[in-house]
Amino acid sequence: MNIGSLLTSSAASHPKSPAIVHGSLTMDYEQFNARVNRLSNALRRLGARPGDNVAILMVNCPQMLEAMFAVFKAGCGAVPINFRLHPSEFAFIIDDSEASVLITTEDFDQPIREVRADLPRVRHVITTGSAAGDVQNYDDVLDGESEQFVDVEVAPDDVAWLFYTSGTTGVPKGAMLSHRNLLGMTDRFYADIFPNFGDHEVVLHAAPLSHGSGLYGVPNVGGAAAHVFPGSTSFDPAWVLETIESQCVTNLFAAPAMIKRLVDCPAIDHADVSSLKAFVWGGAPMMVEDLQQALARFPNLVQIYGLGETPMTITSLSQRDHVLDGNATQTKRLASAGTRRTNVEVEVVDGDDNFQPVGETGEVVTRSDVMTQGYWRDAEATALALQNGWLHTGDLGYFDEDGYLFLMDRSKDMIISGGENIYPREIEEVLARHPAVREVAVIGVPDEQWGEAIKAVVSLVAGQDATEEGLIAYCKSNIASFKKPRSVDFVAEIPKNNYGKIMKRELREPYWKNHERSI
Ligand code: AMP
């Protein structure tokens, strides 16, 4: 089944249900589907054939959801691109995907002009801005097109979404997500994440549509939910809180960094967020201290853990497990990434791919029908990631006796100091409990004696003070001495990418400049 048919069905079953809410604009499912069909027809007219890719470089807006579903319905592969990338980065992705059509918002008209020469394969640019030269206006393109479209029949393994990895470890690669993958993701959303999904759900797209929010836009379309879009491109916690209340938002996806900003926002004291039924978080770890603060504010948190290569996701920590004042076992589980998702195999292996017993740390591997078949035009990266039929995540962790997965770190972030494996997460959890610490990232830096030395990079809570010696002593009184940082850097803000992931590579880079180690 074509994943785009979810929209066709919702328009048939819920034609008058609200589909889009954006400022004063509202659109029901019949209207939304009609516009999507017109765009699918236009794509066909412009020469996009089933199997071709269509690049989508847009800020979160209704047209982006339209574009994604129009591309699905046309049997093409959607390539949603992180709108915060540098022009040279998005140009790389557009060119790498071999897209012949690029759909964009007016925000990118000028940057696209600047990189146009690097995009020889793009034959048509469609923008929500003004037409100019070979650039056509989005609404003009829809004009005159039929509202009828028969969704293109696809094979289950045809590419529906080319998901470019966020590149925290190097050049972005396009994980091919098939119609089967996205349908599997949709079923599991209703099974594990939002089991009481009803007829009048409302999803808020506060996080980028090119990542988790867009992926979970798919089951929300399938369930005929209303999609609420922000009016600005920056994450505005006060607006999000106000919108949850005014639009009775029932579900949303957010990265831990966003949740922290919501919790820290003064408006939280009088916000009514009781409409939320599934507040999904993931994409990066959340310190237990931060999770407890979030739990005191938000009902119905659900954690998901996985990768772009395994939409949306391989384990989850259920609402049931998000307990604020629980017993010791429940509190311990708050530090975990939860249990295996429905019909998803997850194991921990050693360097030779042998399954590890309970309690043993190794690399997390997974296998299921929500797993990518590989990377676009990159057989080498595919072979590396998919050894022995299992996707190797690059994350280290262990299962406890109850099947809860405890993630340590990405293998590249692990520190080896004096022959000891040290997991930054453990030290970060300790420092996050210090009252003056707002955010923390622990990295390994070169050290002549130990190979690597532990460094904590810390941002402080406004108005609070802490010293390097004080924080080191704090660690020493909470964990084994060999795990305490040797040094602490204080920064105003810890660098994160647009998906809220701390850029450890970027933090490490200056220290490793003249050393032989891949960072
Ligand atoms: P991406 O493919 O950009 O979504 O990045 C996937 C990576 O993000 C994973 O391999 C993990 O390292 C990290 N990640 C995602 N979700 C979580 C989570 N719930 N807890 C800890 N790390 C996570």
Instruction: State the pLDDT at residue 515.
Output: 75
Mean pLDDT, the chain, integer: 95
Q: Whose CA is nearest to atom 5 of ligand 1?
A: 307
The distance in angstroms from the start CA to the end CA of the chain is 42
Q: How far apart are CA 347 and CA 457, in angstroms?
A: 32
Q: Is 410 in the pocket of ligand 1 (CB under 6 A)?
A: yes
Mean pLDDT across 253-279: 96
32-85 pLDDT, tens digit per residue, is 999 999 999 999 999 999 999 999 999 999 999 999 999 999 999 999 999 988
CATH no. for residue 78?
3.40.50.12780
Query: Are residues 192 and 261 both part of a single domain?
Result: yes
What pTM was computed for the model? Answer: 0.92
% residues pLDDT > 70 (the chain): 98
**Residues linked to residue 137 through DSSP beta bridges, in sequence order:** 127
Instruction: State the pLDDT at residue 147.
Output: 98
Q: In angstroms, what is the span from residue 253 Cα to ligand 1's centroid?
A: 14
Q: Cβ of 13: how many Cβ atoms within 10 Å? A: 11
458-485 pLDDT, tens digit per residue, is 999 999 999 999 999 999 999 988 899 9
Instruction: State the pLDDT at residue 169.
Output: 54
Q: In angstroms, what is the span from residue 274 Cα to ligand 1's centroid?
A: 28
Query: Are residues 241 and 184 both part of a single domain?
Result: yes
Question: Would 328 be classed as within a structural domain?
Answer: no
Looking at the structure of the chain, the number of domains it has is 3
Question: Would 340 be classed as within a structural domain?
Answer: no
Q: In angstroms, what is the span from residue 514 Cα to ligand 1's centroid?
A: 29
Question: Would 116 be classed as within a structural domain?
Answer: yes
Query: Are residues 422 and 401 both part of a single domain?
Result: no
Query: Are residues 456 and 404 both part of a single domain?
Result: no
Does 260 score more than 90 pLDDT? Answer: yes
Domain hosting 172: range is: 5-321
Query: Are residues 109 and 184 both part of a single domain?
Result: yes
Instruction: State the pLDDT at residue 42.
Output: 98
Q: How far apart are CA 90 and CA 172, in angstroms?
A: 10
% residues pLDDT > 90 (the chain): 88
Does 518 score more than 60 pLDDT? Answer: no
How many Cα atoms are found within 13 Å in the side-chain-facing hemisphere of 416?
A: 6
CATH no. for residue 389?
2.30.38.10
363-392 pLDDT, tens digit per residue, is 999 999 999 999 999 999 999 999 999 999
Q: How far apart are CA 341 and CA 29, in angstroms?
A: 30
Residue ending a domain, choose from 301, 321, 341 = 321
Tokens representing residue 403 in the block: 């099947």
Q: Is 165 in the pocket of ligand 1 (CB under 6 A)?
A: yes
Q: How far apart are CA 479 and CA 424, in angstroms?
A: 12
Question: Would 267 be classed as within a structural domain?
Answer: yes
Query: Are residues 422 and 291 both part of a single domain?
Result: no
Query: Are residues 164 and 241 both part of a single domain?
Result: yes
Mean pLDDT across 273-291: 95
Q: What are phi and psi of 22, to 5 degrees?
A: -145, 105
Q: How far apart are CA 223 and CA 197, in angstroms?
A: 8
Angle formed at CA 398 by CA 397 and CA 404, multiple of 5 degrees:
110
Output the CA torsion sign for 59, 65, 71, 72: positive
Q: Is 207 in the pocket of ligand 1 (CB under 6 A)?
A: no
Q: How far apart are CA 502 and CA 494, in angstroms?
A: 7
Question: Would 517 be classed as within a structural domain?
Answer: no
